[in-house]
Structure 1
Amino acid sequence: MNRIFKSATFVLAAIYFLVDAVFVTVVRPFVNRIAAHWIFGSLRVRIVSLHPYPTLALFAVPLIVLEPVKPVAVYLIGTGHMAVGMIVIVVGEVLKLVLVERLLSITRDKLISIRAFAWTYGKYSQAMELLESFEPWQSARRWRRLARYAVRSHFQEVRASQTLERVSFRLR
């Protein structure tokens, strides 16, 4: 029974990380372009100027709203609403990448100055370290890196062929 549970955990972790790797690899340039927009630059200045507790509220709201997106999307897909479920997961993940990850990277030091957040973040980090030490997680990460490499290689080949086509078109 334990062996079946470990195998199922491995398969689920591998699928999750492969899908996540492909999604993040494809969406990351788009997200970076959005984050580089001038509006976000001025917003960053305002966010950095906030005190710790308003920063915590600013961080918590999108996290609370966007964290349930994956289960909702899986439910929609499972009940036969494939298109709506896919749209929900894509929009939710893009928003989460843009908002939550950027907010955490910008405000981590300020948020850690709040004792409760520091304690929670420490426990979260410990739990993630423990989870990442398991073999299924490590295997899934290897598959994730391979998938990311494959997707990047494909896009580089497409880009190179498009550049070659443009150069050969100009030479005609």
Structure 2
Amino acid sequence: MGGRLAGLLRRFLLRPLLTVAALGYFLIDAVALEALRPLAAWIGRQRFAERLAARIRRLGPYPTLALFVVPLVVLEPLKPVGLYLMGTGHAVQGALLLGAVELVKVTLVERLFHIGKDKLLTIPAFAWCYVQVVRWLAWLTALPPWQAAKRVVGRVRTTIRPALEVVRGWARTLRGRLRAVSKRG
């Protein structure tokens, strides 16, 4: 009877809780990725990043895997620490830690993955894991809560787009004025 109760608890309580936790975790990742993608793209266009990418492309599959996995192993455990800090009354420190981890992860790990994806997929275990993650993400993003969140994000993006254009205009004007001042000086 105890084994049956444990199975029911796992099935009807633990599994849904873990699914909700995973959804929240991936939602935070997805939002951070979208927010930081322009910065990551800008960093990727810088000369030092292009030279580094060329060096990485010359590596074999397993050194590329090490470059990809080591930052993940270091960064991912810091996310729950940030959430813990936020939950224990240290909201600013927790948010700063989460922000820094996401910034480094998006700019470093995402870039490493895209640079070395073809080599990484030649490693059978990595390719299998990649297929499983892609399938799981496809299932996750097809769920109604995800679709609802996506619609809300789209509406928010549409709403704030005019304000972002104004800020971008100010930034272009400021850059132009700073260039003019630096040329005079």
TM-score class, shorter: 0.7 to 0.9
Aligned-partner SS, 1:122: helix
- For residues 52-79 of structure 1, give each alpha carbon's deviation from its aligned partner in whole angstroms, at most 9, with x where no partner exists: 0111111001111122232211111111
- For residues 112-136 of structure 1, give each alpha carbon's deviation from its aligned partner in whole angstroms, at most 9, with x where no partner exists: 1000000111111111111112111
Q: Is the 8 A contact 1:59 1:100 kept in 2?
A: yes
* Residues 75-94 of structure 1 aligned to structure 2 (within 5 Å): 75-94=84-103
Instruction: From 55, 62, 67, give the equivalent of 1:58.
Output: 67
Aligned-partner SS, 2:59: coil
Q: CA deviation at 1:164?
A: 8.2
Q: CA deviation at 1:152?
A: 3.5
Compute the TM-score of the two structures, normalised by the length of structure 1: 0.76
Q: CA deviation at 1:138?
A: 1.2
Equivalenced residues, count = 159
| Structure 1 gap ranges (5+) | 166-172
Equivalent AA in structure 1 for residue 151 of structure 2: R
C-alpha distance in 2 between matches for 1:156 and 1:136: 30
The structure with more radius of gyration: 2
Q: Partner residue of 2:151? A: 142
RMSD: 3.2
Q: 1:70 to 1:150 in 2, by over 3 A?
A: farther
* Residues 1-172 of structure 1 aligned to structure 2 (within 5 Å): 17=27, 21=31, 23-24=32-33, 26-160=35-169
Q: 1:152 to 1:89 in 2, by over 3 A?
A: farther
Compute the TM-score of the two structures, normalised by the length of structure 2: 0.72
C-alpha distance in 2 between matches for 1:90 and 1:137: 22
> Identity of paired residues, percent?
38
